[in-house]
Structure 1
Amino acid sequence: MKLGAVIAAAVVAVGVGQAEAATYTAVDYDLYLRYEGTAFSDLVAYDQWDLDNTYSSPYYPAEDPLNLDISNKMFPSLAIGDIVRFIATIVFPEDPDQLLGQYDNGGRAPVCAIGKTSCTNTTEAYPKGPYDAFDIRYSDLIMITGSTQVGSAFTYNQAYPGDWASDDGRWSYHAWYSAAKFTVVEIVDTPAPVPLPATAALLPLGIGALATMRKRRKAQAV
């Protein structure tokens, strides 16, 4: 079957599914974010040039008041003030409290990236309001909280980020928790929720078609 026929079949299936009780809703997000820095809890910084110089703090703010040159492990190339794009198709379950497995409520993100950092490993999705804000999560380690309001906060929270080093090799770091902070500066597209069919067998087809159509639209716009 040709790609166009597959997409057409999926669109028809979604349309039929709207007459039933939809169990999932897919929402597209396209935002520009300004990086504001990263805050850490239970941070320890080791000075490799002076082994007697060690700093620890239960909370270290994103403003980096001691100039420890701490780059976010997930966004090492970003400097404060840099602009990145968040593009995602998030699939929300009608019942966000359903449990398909540990850390899995059926939420998915077949398209999801903050700049060059992928978030497609999403297994939980929680809408807030009319899908203008959300939480998406992966296991108990990663949580992304976003909003479609200009000026609102957007955070990438990571538990147990492990050990990493400064670009010049002077500092090595360890933290219990990190929170990369962004501010929404532009909304490219207003989210438009699309109900997906209740038939579980059609769900992967519908999600794949939505992601494919989104990629084709963006390719044509370039």
Structure 2
Amino acid sequence: MDVRDPSVTAAPASTPVLSTPTITPGHDADAVAARDLPFAAGGTLAPGAPVGISDELKVAPGWKMVRENVAGASQYAKADGCVVAARVSTGQAPLVRGGDRESTVALFQYLDATIQSSYLTTATLQWGGTPDTPGKNVEVLALEQTAPGGRSTAVLARVFGTAGSSAYVSVSCPDAATLGSARHDVVRYLPLVPPSA
């Protein structure tokens, strides 16, 4: 039997209201790893999940590892005089300037204030995969320099703003010809590794 107290005002009928989700939707790491990562797609990475870098250059013909993961950096040397240094850094939020391209320019300028954005060109590294089964492509910015009568160098870098990390690879060789060969090896044996989470 429904007996109501006549002195109590009935509660008004409530209208359902959608609430804002309090759980971040799951990040599909496999989907991100399965497609190219141009600068514009940097936001598809999971916040705070750093990008990695392979160390397979140590098994490439003619190369050997000189330093392994010292303060986050590894160094490789080739019999022809080429040297490669590869580093992944986290905590890169202070460098973030809008998109990943602008943030990467900021990284170069942090390393050397005289670098202008016009000095940088777009290049690609492998995005996942192995030397025998290449992955997709990831866009990076490259700075190439040849000292008169000196070494030829190339620096390839990318800031992943959403992930809060950066990847930096420098290649230094006796001349332009050996630099071209070394860059080919870098693309094949030092792919950037997509976050697994």
Q: Answer yes or no: same fold by TM over 0.5.
A: no
Structure 2 length-normalised TM: 0.29
**Per residue, is there more helix in 1 or in 2?**
2
* Larger strand proportion of the pair: 1
- Structure with the greater alpha carbon radius of gyration: 2
